Structure formats: C-alpha cells, structure tokens
Chains A and B, each alone.
Chain A
Amino acid sequence: MSEALDLPLRAQAQAIAAGEADAAELLEATLQRIEERNPALNAIVETFPTHSREMLASAPQGSLHGVPVVIKDEWPLPWRAQRFGAADMLANPEPGESAPYRALRDAGAVIVGVGNMHELGASSTGNVSVYGPARNPWNPERCPGGSSSGPASAVAARLVAGAVGADGVGSIRYPAAYCGLTGLKPTFGRSAMAGHHMAELSTTIVSGALCADAADCRLLDSVLFGEELQAGKPPALRIGVIRDEPAEDVAPAVREACEAAIEDLREATGGEVREVELPELAAATLATVLIANSESLGSITPERLNSLDPELSPLGRGLLKYRVLLPAVATIKAQQLRTLARHTLAKVFEGVDVIAWPTVPAVAPPLEAPMVELPSGTLTADEANVRGGALANLTGIPAISVPVGSSDGLPIGLQLQAAWGRDELLLDAAEALEQANGRRWVEAVPPPARGAETLEA
C-alpha cells in the first residue's frame, strides 16, 4: 500500500513531484482501496483502470501530476457519457472532453472514478440515484448529502484526497457539511463548466472542489479556475450574521457549534461580528428553485415527458412533470428578486467581509427518511437545507462550507459567503478557522478511514 494514499491532496502532489512517492504505486493503491471500501459506500459508480493508467502515462508535470481524483457523474469523459445520476436525464449525453476533464488532465491529475450523485441533481440528500444511494462514511445509514453525494463520500472515506463536484443549489456545500469536508462553491463563471449539459443554460451551476481542508480545495480549485488562487492572511474579518431562518431555525448542537466557530474566526482574525439584514432571503430561496428548475425546461416536450424511462424514480418523474406547471410570471418575479438580492448583497458587503450561518440546519438525516427536527418542527431535509444554500447560487457570490463540529458522531458545517470574486478570501478565512480550532475537524476521519478496510453495508 502506498504511504502517500492517506496524505492530503497537496502532500500527494508534493511527494510525487519530489520523487518521494511513486505515482503508479499511488494509482494502484487507490484503485485497490476503492475496491475494498467502496462497496459499502457506493460513492464511486465506475472505475476505468485502463483509462486511468493511460492518463498517468501521458500526464504532464502540472500541479496535480499523478494525483488520483474523482469527478461527479455530471460531466462527460472521453470514454464515458455522464448519466446525471438518472436513468433518463432528458438529454442525449455523449462521451467527450468537458472543461473540468481538460483542466484535470492538463494539471496532470489522474481521474480514477466517477462519483455518484442524486438523481438529476435534484436534492440535498443524495438518497436517490440510478446507481443506488451513496452512503455517508460517518454512518452508512445516513445521507451523504447531495447532489454531489459520491464525491463527498469518496473524499471523506479517503478513497481519494480530492473530488470535483457541482453546485446548482448548494450541491457542493450540503455534502461537504454532511461528510465533514471543505467544499467551495465558486463565484459564478470562475470555474470550468464547458461540456456540462446545462453549461449554456444554467445561471446557477458551477463546478468546484470537495476536499478535506481549505488548502486542498485551493489547489484543486486553482486547477478548475485556470488560475492560482493565492493564499494570504485574512484581514480583521468583519463577519456578518443574520437573525433569520438559516441561522435561527437550526438544531441546538448545530447552532452552538457554528456560533462557537464564528467566535473563533472573529478572535483568530482580530475582527468583529456585525448583524446584517437580508430582507429578500426567504423569497430568494424560492426564486432560486424556480430559476434552476425553469432553466432546464427548454428541452422538455409533453411527448418526452410521456416517454420517460420507467427506471427514473417516481419522485423524479413527478417533479419533472410538475415543473411544466410552474407559472412563467413566477419565474419573472424570481428574476426581479435576484436583482433585488444582488443589490442588497452588494450593499451588505460594503460593511462586512463574509456572511456566516450554518451550511445545513441539522446533521445528516437517515437515508430512508431524510427529515430533520428543527425548532420550528419536522421538515424535509431539502426544505430546510435550501434556505441556507440558495442565496449564493441566485446571486452568483462564492460560498464555502467548513467543518466546525459534530453531533451524534456526524459532522457540522459552517457556511461563509463573500462578495463576487472573493473566493480566495473564503479559502483564507477557512484556513484561519482551521488553525483556530487546531485543525480538529478537518483532520477527523470516519470509521472506514481509521484503518478498518470495510464497512457493514
């Protein structure tokens, strides 16, 4: 077994570059580990050792030379069309070179597998997929989060040290929070997207990294951005907090951990906490869902909806058909709400550097019944999660989820959001927070990564 296997992404890259680790050995060890650990997690839905070995054989001396990574089932590869986690994705995907694939290849990375995802990217839970659900390494009966369920599960279980996900309505940040990872939703348009079947239509989806910590995200996101995201010491952070649902209607343990983390971040940077108001927040959540759903309607015809693959889940079939009934005037209103929210945020970011609230209001719910208990009552996880995740997608701002605690053995994530283009600040702030808590949460590993080679399914 390669000793490099359990190193962070950046350390794997450094070890290979320094000749201290053999990339071929690392690849074979990674494939072996996937074989051993993945059956209990279903994080990776396909490996292709021959293609991976070919990638390594022709890998340039880039920043990720020889480093194994996973990519979500949302982009085509030259040897494999994406399935979008679904038996029927209302498109005709074909194998090809997507921009994230090219970015990884040109950086010398080796794609070792495709990560599972929630069917059609349509949920924050990851509990429905044409491949069967991915499982949370911290508790395989719990949701890994969605829709980037497989990439998160794979990194959390240390099958690989980094994975590429996508975030249309929180889909990198929810699984990062549920699986105890760091996940950056970049500023809209900054990261590689070409080749995604919605790349020319979507105004919410971005690609981004899921890794154990911020430094690894910085490295992998630099590849996806096509520019080096410089590290720096964050300024005395002005941290904005709200007194609204995403911060208030949360499970007590989540609230306590996030409030403590905000205080840690304030103290670590010598900053201050300021209360801010986002009056459009509640409506912005619905606006995001309306826009994201309507943007995929262009290719839908009634005839197509009447001939959906029967293997598509009943939930998927029903929701696709319901989308057609959403009134156009509501989508126009949603666009106006987007304008309002963007202006409000621009004003708010004159007074604060980041806005902080829990990424999700409760820890990962059961796979079989993804409901969460909140002070306001019992809600579906999707209903609860979207309240905190949607704003960044609606407005285009970057956001990051950072692990800051645990409850019942399951991770808790804090979300930080910043103004457009300040992705680097979020990474700097995440690193400051890691240092402030002694890297306790980014170095925590779930049972299958502590030495036990298999999990009971």
Chain B
Amino acid sequence: MDPAASQDDFIPAGLAAFGIEADEIELAVINAAHQLFWPPILELLSIDTSAVPVERNPDLSQAPPSR
C-alpha cells in the first residue's frame, strides 16, 4: 500500500483514536508535517538495528563506553 495514500486515513483515524480535535488549518499543518516526516520515518524503521544495544541512561556529556 502506498504510504502517502494511507495518509487520508492515518491522520483522521489517529487523531480520532486519541480523541484529539483539529480544525481545518490544523489538519493542513498536520498533513504537511506528515508528508515531510513520514517517508524518513519509514526509512528509519527499515534500518536493521538488531545488533545495536540501546545505551541505558547514556551519559551524553561523555563519549560512549568502548564496545
């Protein structure tokens, strides 16, 4: 299924599921944001990160511990 085509359903269904109301202008903003963010999100999701350990409470003030 074309991800872009699913937008017509995703946005209103998602907002409705959370009980979030949006007027026409807000919907236009949300749709524009979705068009911008969704393709790279799908790319991000397709990256195989199974071998990457998530740093538990990473100390961002320092380099990560050596692997």
Contact = CB atoms under 8 A, between A and B. Distances in A.
B40 A322 contact: no
A317 B26 contact: yes
A335 B34 CA distance: 21
Q: How many interface residues does chain B have, given as a range? A: 35 or more
A383 B54 contact: no
A409 interface: no
Interface stretch (A182-190, A208-216, A357-365, A447-455): A182-190
Interface in B1-28: 10-11, 14-15, 18-22, 25-28
A189 B60 contact: yes
Contacts of A342: 55, 58, 63-64
A107 to B, nearest CB: 22
A346 interface: yes
A329 B44 CA distance: 10
Nearest to A350: B63
Given A302-B20, A322-B34, A421 B52 contact: no
Given A321-B15, A325-B11, A329-B45, A343 B29 contact: no
Given A283-B47, A321-B15, A383-B36, A339 B64 contact: yes
Contacts of A334: 44
B44 A306 contact: no
B61 A187 contact: yes
Contact of A189 (B10, B36, B61, B66): B61
A43 to B, nearest CB: 27
Contact of A336 (B27, B34, B54, B64): B54
B21 A333 contact: no
Nearest to B13: A325
A189 B61 CA distance: 6
Given A302-B19, A339-B52, A396-B60, A333 B34 contact: no
Contact of A314 (B19, B29, B41): B29
B29 A333 contact: no
Interface in B40-56: 40-41, 43-45, 47, 49, 52-55
A7 interface: no
Contacts of A325: 10-11, 14-15, 30, 34
A199 to B, nearest CB: 14
Contacts of B63: 342, 345-346, 349, 419-420
Contacts of A189: 59-61
Contact of A321 (B10, B22, B53, B58): B22
Given A203-B60, A318-B22, A333-B47, 4 more contacts: A286-B41, A302-B20, A335-B55, A336-B52
Top 9 nearest A-B pairs (CB, nearest first) are: A318-B29, A396-B60, A189-B61, A188-B60, A336-B49, A318-B26, A314-B25, A346-B63, A325-B14
